[in-house]
Amino acid sequence: MKSKIVCALLLIVGLQLKAQKWVDTAYQTIQISNVVYGSAIDFGGQNRLLRMDVSIPTNDTPPVCGRPLLIAIHGGAFMGGNKSTGAPPLIIKEFAQRGYVTASINYRLGMFQTASAINCNIPNWNCLNMTDTAEWYRAVYRGMQDAKGAIRFLLNQKDSLKIDPKNIFVVGESAGGFIALATAFIDDTLEKHPSCYAINTVARPNAIYESTCLVSTGHTTSLSALNLTRPDLGSIHGDLNPTNLNYTIKGVGSIYGALMFDNFSRYSYAKSPAIYAYHQPNDLIVPYKQQRIFHDYNICAQGFPANCQSIVNRPYVYGSSGLFNLIKKLKTTVPQLPDYLFDSTLNTVNCAMQVSNPALTGHAIDQVKLRSKNMANFFSKQIDTSSASCLPSDIQTVNKQTLVSIFPNPSSGTVNIQVDANVSHWTVQLKEISGKILKTVVNQTIMDISDFKSGFYIIVFSADNYQQSIKFQYVK
């Protein structure tokens, strides 16, 4: 008996040694559920508690600098869903088994429906008619703020959880895919959409949406309880869980998600986060290419026998194929665009067949475990486990309080550098977005950039152990 036990143990150890690091599900895990990571005000003025489920490997040997961290974000058209639905529960379990610390998060849900009475006898169709397109942008923005707050919450416990801040990954399904892409790529106030500043107060949503779209889903207790103002949504980072740590998002996974607008021509990363995207060509909900959200679903609903009118106020978005084509077009003109893996299917089943047989739907994952492993294999190539420095090499500012600011931005000749009064010695580098250093000044508060071409640049401010990167635009 003893020899059999020894053989079994040797077999287990042998399998673990052969396991492909960060890809194979080799470890045991524990899950901690319903951890509160903060609270924030939602679209209708209610303060919402935000919770996450955390999974951690228990029998791995973490790298010197810690484990990668992966945040998973659920779908639900920004109106429904939660951390325990869809793909995220499986994703956090499997990636924890691969050696990551993982968390599936809730985020603020809800949008203002239109004041018009638009009705059709298709479940949830009514609830998709928003007061204007700004509601979609604001919903993504709030979700992005919450996701960044969740990252900081876990990074503030990096020593106990053994997390490496330079290896962060964000994965989202459907609406969560929108949020994951925004979390990875909206890194500068220049990329804050105008809809996310203070805009007009909305008209009260029509009474037909009260019960099914707002009260029964928990977004409000009544139409009269909604705060109809639309204030400035604040910093792109949000204000949850401020930290002195910097972090680097190495990769983003978009599972039939989309990008709300083209911000690749503006990004400031020395090396952009890598993108894994999974999408089926016949997705009725999130366009495969570039089109209005719910494009094919909307066409389907307008046909016989439903005969609905068009869903109103839907923005154009870049689906996975559209995003991939956007990157290919820019690749010859913009350096260091993201590594990209586009994982798709040949599913072209039409609307009628999808309705009659939901198993053929295009807005779903055909083989969850296969796609999870494909994403893991792609992410594994992005992970840096070097122990020469346990600080990220590509700095992303996450401090609520910063030591330097620059103005004007955009600039037309000189950049003024405003430094915190407690800083006595500093260095400022001007870099191309590729990372090439163009100019260095020491202890100066004005930098002349008039000799350079118009475009986007990065200023890297260094003082003692502090470093901050700021993206700005120079316009001649």
- How many residues belong to the chain? 476
Band (8; pLDDT cuts 50, 70, 90): very low
Q: What is the pLDDT of residue 397?
A: 39
Contact 205, 227 (CB under 8 A): no
Q: What is the DSSP letter of 110?
A: -
Span 62-74, average pLDDT: 95
End-to-end CA distance of the chain: give it in Å, rounded: 81
CATH assignment of 404-474, among 3.40.50.2300, 2.60.40.1930, 3.40.50.40, 3.40.930.10 = 2.60.40.1930
Closest CA to 177 of 89, 101, 75: 75
CATH assignment of 24-380, among 3.40.50.300, 3.40.50.1820, 1.20.120.1810, 3.40.50.620 = 3.40.50.1820
Mean pLDDT score of the chain? 87
Lowest mean pLDDT among 121-125, 158-162, 242-246, 462-466: 462-466
Question: What stretch(es) of the chain map to CATH 2.60.40.1930?
Answer: 404-474
Q: What is the DSSP letter of 18?
A: H
What pLDDT digit, counting tens, does each position of 85-121 carry? 999 999 999 999 999 999 999 999 999 999 999 999 8
Contact 280, 256 (CB under 8 A): yes
Residues near 406 by beta carbon (within 8 Å), at least 6 away in sequence: 415, 416, 417, 418, 459, 470, 472
Closest CA to 57 of 105, 6, 93, 16: 93
* Token pair belonging to 43: 């679209």
What pLDDT digit, counting tens, does each position of 113-149 carry? 999 999 998 888 999 999 999 999 999 999 999 999 9
Contact 267, 190 (CB under 8 A): no
Lowest mean pLDDT among 93-107, 203-217, 347-361: 347-361
Q: What is the pLDDT of residue 6?
A: 46
Closest CA to 225 of 235, 215, 212, 239: 215
SS (H, E, C) 327-358: HHHHCCCCCCCCCEEEEECCCCCCHHHHHHCH
Question: What stretch(es) of the chain map to CATH 3.40.50.1820?
Answer: 24-380
290-292 and 466-474 beta bridge pairing:
unpaired
- Is pLDDT above 80 for 249? yes
Lowest mean pLDDT among 21-30, 202-211, 213-222, 436-445: 436-445
Contact 228, 111 (CB under 8 A): no
Residue 457, beta-bridge partner list: 432, 472
CA distance 244 to 280: 40
CA distance 196 to 192: 7
Q: What is the pLDDT of residue 199?
A: 96
Span 355-370, average pLDDT: 91
Radius of gyration of the chain (CA): 23
Say how many CA atoms lie within 13 Å of 270 toward its Cβ: 15
Q: What is the pLDDT of residue 172?
A: 98
- Is pLDDT above 80 for 334? no
Q: What is the pLDDT of residue 191?
A: 87
Q: What is the pLDDT of residue 265?
A: 61
